[in-house]
Amino acid sequence: MIDPKKIEQIARQIHESMPKGVREFGEDVEKKIRQVLQAQLTRLELVNREEFDVQTQVLLRTREKLALLEQRLARLEQQQLEQQPALAAPEEKSGQA
């Protein structure tokens, strides 16, 4: 969620940059600008910096775990491949006899 103070500041800046004739409508124009800004920013589904940082850390830990699991899987697959010829050899010998 965007900080309401930031929205207010942006709305004020927009209001101040408008032509004098429009600014004379006063609080109504600034209030409407704030409402439009809030509605549009809400539609964007933005997150605050703290939430973003938390999710970044979660993603980093998840990537580390994934890398470890990929290494473990590769070792297990290698062990399985190494054991298969040893298991297949007795069957071949018994089939020939």
Same domain, 31 and 1: yes
What is the per-residue pLDDT for 59? 97
How remote is the C-alpha of 65 from its chain's centroid?
17
Quick: pLDDT tens for 71-91: 999 999 999 988 886 666 555
Instruction: Specify if 93 maps to a domain.
Output: no
d(CA 16, CA 29): 11
Evaluate whether residue 7 is within a structural domain.
yes
| Model pLDDT for residues 47-60, shown as the tens digit of each residue | 788 999 999 999 99
Both tokens of 12, joined, read 């004020």
Residue 92 within any structural domain of the chain = no
Same domain, residue pair 37 and 19 = yes
Q: Give this prediction's pTM.
A: 0.47
